């Protein structure tokens, strides 16, 4: 398609201090949302004991938040336009803070889940609107620094969550992972009230399309629930998962059809006419899988194989979170001078190298073995995340940034859910595969296996066990060793698969665009 170039009229620039006051205010709100996606994970056992729930029941504290978050993300542009961007952002902050208090004060599991759903609905408006506000506030030549500031929060937040959560759960109590949001939420409300520009008068009097909103909620809610619960429900062996799959497909298809026919859509799907957005959104799913998937696998490895506590696991992830923030500072300056697509490819290759290093773990792996691979992973993720933001949203006109940002953030959230679901499935299947292979290669008739069993039996007998009990304990110990080695190999497989996935989708970089100064670019760019 031919490219049309329309000069942009010069607009008075906001004072630098005013721009950064806005950036800090909205970033604080986004930080609350991002941290709360992962801070709860380390507290589930304590919640389970306090509220008298099973593990599958208490997992809805995580799932409820994720489902609500995904539903509201694509609606953020419409909600901001309908009610005012400043008003909606501050409303989301206030609602998120109140929901945090409700979570901390919940005395039963249903009350906690309801409060988490409310928190997720409010939180969805914080992340997407924060990024859109930054794109609208800063001129093109300063977008690299502004998006680096935003990216430091999005990348470091999921790693800060378990660290902060582990400390609070260990030293104070699980309720404080919610109460800690209150002073930060109040501060963010005050800062946003003071710094954000007043909303312009809205003359939109069109009726709200409740049917479209219902179809969107049903479709994305079913899809997210399917991803959250699929592994525990044995996927398509479960009637619930089959129902959710059909519900997601039918509802989303009906929603897309209705929105494309509507003159006043609640989600403007027409922004997908921009090639950079749909190509970048696919890559965003992959980044989400790599970001949240790796952060999902490492804590499980640390707690199941290294026997780390929640706090120790959080401290294991802390250096990589700090590395993300530091890398973002430099990346924001560099991205102004190079093509974002080049930065994206560089970041992807660094990330692939990091997950390759993580795919060589052994049963003797310790904290030192994780340090540099996690640092490199952080650098690669930052180097991939920031250019992807710029190359995806940079070419899009400001009038469509809000809708594009909501859709783009949705794909990253879904990517994280898809990544966790796929890696969990892969982890389970590969562990069973490796265990079967190891058992096949270790028959009791093998002299080396017999010798190992006899050594273990002698050790248990020396501690006072009867001969029969000593042999039984020896076989149980050998079985434990097999299970441990199979689990280690399955973790290595998941990291390796993540690297392959990144490489497979990397050619999509060729479809991304590059924002130009002083011009607007049509859909063919």
SS3 state at 524: coil
- Residues 161 and 214 both lie in one domain: no
Mean pLDDT for the stretch of residues 74-99 = 87
Residue 363 has pLDDT above 70, yes or no: yes
- Residues 43 and 163 both lie in one domain: yes
pLDDT, residue 250, reads: 93
Q: Output the six-digit token pair for 22.
A: 């806005």
pLDDT in tens, 154-182: 766 766 777 788 788 888 888 998 998 89
Residue with the larger pLDDT of the pair 141 and 33: 33
- Residues 365 and 310 both lie in one domain: yes
pLDDT, residue 105, reads: 92
Which candidate, 228, 365, 397, 380, places its Cα nearest to that of 301?
A: 365
- Residues 128 and 258 both lie in one domain: no
Which candidate, 115, 146, 97, places its Cα nearest to that of 51?
A: 115
In a domain, 481, yes or no: no
| Confidence band, pLDDT 50/70/90 cuts, at residue 318 | confident
Output the 3-class SS for 351-403.
HHHHHHHHCCCCCCCCHHHHHHHHHHHHHHHHHHHHHHHHHHHCCCCHHHHHH
pLDDT, residue 167, reads: 82
Give the burial string for 38-47 (b: 16+ CB within 10 Å, else e).
bbbbbbbebb
Q: Which residues make Cβ contacts (< 8 Å) with residue 24, sequence separation at least 6?
A: 191
Instruction: Please calculate the CA angle 106-111-116 and round it to the nearest 5 degrees.
Output: 90
Q: Output the six-digit token pair for 65.
A: 């938040």
- Residues 49 and 190 both lie in one domain: yes
Mean pLDDT for the stretch of residues 400-426 = 79
The total of other beta-carbon atoms located within 10 Å of residue 312's CB is 15
- Residues 184 and 75 both lie in one domain: yes
Q: Output the six-digit token pair for 64.
A: 């409820």
In a domain, 35, yes or no: yes
Whether residue 176 contacts residue 31, with contact meaning beta carbons closer than 8 Å, is answered with no
- Residues 381 and 238 both lie in one domain: no
Burial of 358 (0-12, 13-18, 19+ CB in 10 A): buried
pLDDT, residue 420, reads: 74
In a domain, 477, yes or no: no
- Name the residue range of residue 72's domain: 15-198
| Confidence band, pLDDT 50/70/90 cuts, at residue 4 | very low
In a domain, 284, yes or no: yes
pLDDT, residue 444, reads: 67
Mean pLDDT for the stretch of residues 317-341 = 76
pLDDT, residue 204, reads: 59
Which candidate, 417, 494, 418, places its Cα nearest to that of 62?
A: 417
Whether residue 16 contacts residue 45, with contact meaning beta carbons closer than 8 Å, is answered with no
Residue holding tokens 């930080």? 31
SS3 state at 387: helix
Residue 520 has pLDDT above 70, yes or no: no
| Confidence band, pLDDT 50/70/90 cuts, at residue 114 | very high
Domain end call among 142, 164, 198: 198
Q: Measure the CA–CA gap between 248 and 253, rounded to whole angstroms.
A: 8
Q: Measure the CA–CA gap between 435 and 437, rounded to whole angstroms.
A: 5
User: Which of 330-344, 394-408, 483-497 is the most confident on average?
Assistant: 483-497
Residue 85 has pLDDT above 50, yes or no: yes
β strands within 117-231, DSSP E: none
Q: Domain containing 96 — which CATH number?
A: 1.20.1250.20
Residue 13 has pLDDT above 50, yes or no: no
Q: Output the six-digit token pair for 398.
A: 């400001």
Domain end call among 144, 176, 198: 198
- Residues 288 and 405 both lie in one domain: yes
Mean pLDDT for the stretch of residues 183-205 = 81
- Residues 169 and 236 both lie in one domain: no
In a domain, 462, yes or no: no
- Residues 112 and 247 both lie in one domain: no
User: Which of 228-232, 273-277, 306-310, 451-455 is the most confident on average?
Assistant: 273-277
H helix or E strand, kind and range, residue 7: strand 5-7
Domain end call among 173, 198, 223: 198
Q: Measure the CA–CA gap between 363 and 452, rounded to whole angstroms.
A: 18
**Average per-residue pLDDT in the chain?**
79
User: Which of 128-132, 226-230, 293-297, 433-437 is the most confident on average?
Assistant: 433-437
pLDDT in tens, 238-273: 888 899 999 999 998 998 888 888 877 777 778 888
Q: Output the six-digit token pair for 427.
A: 């982890």
In a domain, 461, yes or no: no
Q: From the DSSP assignment, how many helices (H) and strands (E) are in the chain?
A: 19, 2
pLDDT, residue 459, reads: 74
pLDDT, residue 81, reads: 79
Q: Which residues make Cβ contacts (< 8 Å) with residue 59, sequence separation at least 6?
A: 44, 228, 232
pLDDT, residue 6, reads: 40
In a domain, 44, yes or no: yes
- Residues 286 and 251 both lie in one domain: no
pLDDT in tens, 416-447: 777 777 777 888 888 889 988 888 877 766 67
- Residues 226 and 277 both lie in one domain: no
Q: Measure the CA–CA gap between 409 and 107, rounded to whole angstroms.
A: 33
Q: What is the domain count for the chain?
A: 3
In a domain, 218, yes or no: yes
Residue with the larger pLDDT of the pair 162 and 115: 115
Residue 473 has pLDDT above 60, yes or no: yes
Mean pLDDT for the stretch of residues 397-420 = 78
pLDDT, residue 400, reads: 81
pLDDT, residue 103, reads: 92
Mean pLDDT for the stretch of residues 192-210 = 75
């Amino acid at each position: 398609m031919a490219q049309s170039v329309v000069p942009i009229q010069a607009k008075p620039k906001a004072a630098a201090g005013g721009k950064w006051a806005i950036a800090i205010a909205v970033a604080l709100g986004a930080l609350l949302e991002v941290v709360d996606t992962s801070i709860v994970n380390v507290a589930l056992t304590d919640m389970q004991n306090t509220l008298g729930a099973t593990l599958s029941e208490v997992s809805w504290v995580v799932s409820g938040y994720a489902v609500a978050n995904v539903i509201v993300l694509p609606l953020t542009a419409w909600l901001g336009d309908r009610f005012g961007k400043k008003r909606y952002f501050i409303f989301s902050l206030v609602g998120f803070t109140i929901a945090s208090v409700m979570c901390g004060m919940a005395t039963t599991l249903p009350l906690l889940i309801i409060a988490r759903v409310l928190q997720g609905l409010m939180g969805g408006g914080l992340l997407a609107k924060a990024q859109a506000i930054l794109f609208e506030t800063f001129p093109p030549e300063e977008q690299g620094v502004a998006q680096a500031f935003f990216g430091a929060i999005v990348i470091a937040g999921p790693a800060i969550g378990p660290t902060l959560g582990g400390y609070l759960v260990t030293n104070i109590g699980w309720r404080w992972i919610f109460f800690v949001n209150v002073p930060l939420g109040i501060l963010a409300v005050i800062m946003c009230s003071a710094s954000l520009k007043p909303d312009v008068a809205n003359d939109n009097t069109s009726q709200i399309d409740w049917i479209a909103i219902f179809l969107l909620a049903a479709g994305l809610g079913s899809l997210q629930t399917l991803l959250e619960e699929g592994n525990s429900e044995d996927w398509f062996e479960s009637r619930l998962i089959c129902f959710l799959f059909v519900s997601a497909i039918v509802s989303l298809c009906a929603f897309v059809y209705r929105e494309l026919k509507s003159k006043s859509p609640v989600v403007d799907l027409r922004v997908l006419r921009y090639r950079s957005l749909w190509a970048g959104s696919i890559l965003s799913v992959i980044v989400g899988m790599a970001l949240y998937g790796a952060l999902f696998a490492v804590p499980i490895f640390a707690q199941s194989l290294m026997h780390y506590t929640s706090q120790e696991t959080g401290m294991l992830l802390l250096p990589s979170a700090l590395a993300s923030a530091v890398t973002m500072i430099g990346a924001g300056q560099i991205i102004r001078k190079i093509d974002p697509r080049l930065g994206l490819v560089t970041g992807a290759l660094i990330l692939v190298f990091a997950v390759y290093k993580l795919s060589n773990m052994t049963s003797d792996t310790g904290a030192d073995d994780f340090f540099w691979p996690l640092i490199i992973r952080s650098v690669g993720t930052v180097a991939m995340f920031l250019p992807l933001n710029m190359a995806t949203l940079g070419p899009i006109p400001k009038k469509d940034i809000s809708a594009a940002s909501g859709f783009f953030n949705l794909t990253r959230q879904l990517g994280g859910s898809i990544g966790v679901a796929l890696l969990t499935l892969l982890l389970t299947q590969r562990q069973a595969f490796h265990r079967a292979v190891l058992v096949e290669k270790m028959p009791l008739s093998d002299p080396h296996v017999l010798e190992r069993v006899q050594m273990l039996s002698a050790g248990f007998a020396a501690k006072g066990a009867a001969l029969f009990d000593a042999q039984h304990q020896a076989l149980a110990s050998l079985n434990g060793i097999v299970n441990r080695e199979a689990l280690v190999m399955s973790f290595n497989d998941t990291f390796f698969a993540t690297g392959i996935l990144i490489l497979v989708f990397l050619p999509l970089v060729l479809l991304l665009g590059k924002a130009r100064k002083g011009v607007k670019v049509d859909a063919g760019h």
